[in-house]
Amino acid sequence: MATVLSEIQKDIAVLTLNNGTTNSINPGLVRDLSETLDEIRNEAKGIVLCGGAKFFSIGLDLPSLIKCDRAEMSDFWYEFNHLILDLYTVSLPTVCALSGHAVAGGNILALTCDYRFAGTDTKKIGLNEIKLGVPVPYLADMLLRQIISERSATEMLYSGDFMSFSEAKKIGLIDDIYSTEAVIRKARKKAAGLSEFQTHAFSAIKSCRTEEIRDKYEKNFKSKNEIFLDCWFSESTQRILKDASQKF
């Protein structure tokens, strides 16, 4: 079963995470989302990224990833971050429609989009990596600081706390909140509106917005990824991750 569903509706590609109730991020989902993005980038004029009603995504699939050795985890970590970079820099307008919780890696996927719309205020968003003993990925850290203020980003990263979508809207992490029934339609409308501009003009403007972070990531990702892996495979973090994986 494909972990990502794709449907093009009036030139807007709606990509839906479909990896069980939690939409946990594992090698299969990363591969499927990467391949889907490659397939539709020249067919669609805009992208809506959405997930499930309970979870947009719970983040990394800890029960499976905790079994990886360093080489396997290194390969996955590179592919995951490469996907994040591709989603962030794709020349099409992108809107994330959040009906469920978007935490840790789920929050990171949402950061890649030009806009983030929420469909309820009963779910949470946030980056809890510090509580698991690992840093927020270098690329995601930069994306967060571009979207919200430096002070708000530092508080999010240092605390590891989750927040409601209305709290996230106050700091600029969420752009608008709609009803659960309307959020995907509103996201499609936003993407469609942006797609009406001249493609080359929109692409050039987006390239200006993304190029600094892209260039910094491509220059530094090898050393930054090794720092993440060092933390991931430390004895104390492995204990935390194993305990956390039991709650999936």
Asked if the model's pLDDT at residue 99 lies above 90, the reply is yes
pLDDT cut 90: percent of the chain above it: 97
Residues 6+ apart with CB under 8 A from 111: 84, 88, 140, 143, 144, 147
pLDDT above 90: residue 247: no
Judged against a pLDDT cut of 90, whether residue 23 lies above it is answered with yes
- Contacts of 213 by beta carbon, 8 Å cutoff, 6+ apart: 88, 139, 142, 143, 146
Write out pLDDT tens, residues 27-53.
Answer: 999 999 999 999 999 999 999 999 999
Sheet strand arrangement including 12-17? 4-9, 12-17, 46-50, 94-98, 115-118, 176-177
In this prediction, residues 131-150 reach a mean pLDDT of 98
pLDDT digits (tens, 9 = 90+) for 73-85: 999 999 999 999 9
Per-residue confidence at 120, pLDDT binned at 50, 70, 90?
Answer: confident
Q: Give the mean pLDDT of 68-72.
A: 98
- For the chain, which domains are there? 4-195 (3.90.226.10)
More confident residue, 109 or 121: 109
pLDDT the model gives residue 122: 87
pLDDT bracket for residue 1 (50, 70, 90): low
The candidate with the shortest Cα–Cα distance to 166, out of 153, 155, 176, is 176
The whole-angstrom separation of Cα 45 and Cα 47 is 7
**What is the amino acid identity at position 92?**
L
pLDDT at 8 > cutoff 70: yes
Confidence band for 113, pLDDT divided at 50, 70 and 90 = very high
- Residue 248 banded pLDDT, cuts 50, 70, 90: confident
Give the containing element (helix H, strand E) for 141.
helix 138-147
Q: Are 135 and 129 in contact (CB under 8 A)?
A: yes
Specify the range with the lowest mean pLDDT, choosing from 121-125, 155-159, 235-239: 121-125
Burial code (b: 16+ CB inside 10 Å, e: under 16) for 11-49 equals: ebbbbbbbbeebbbbbbebbebbbebbeebeeebbbbbb
Residue 219: both structure tokens together: 């220059």
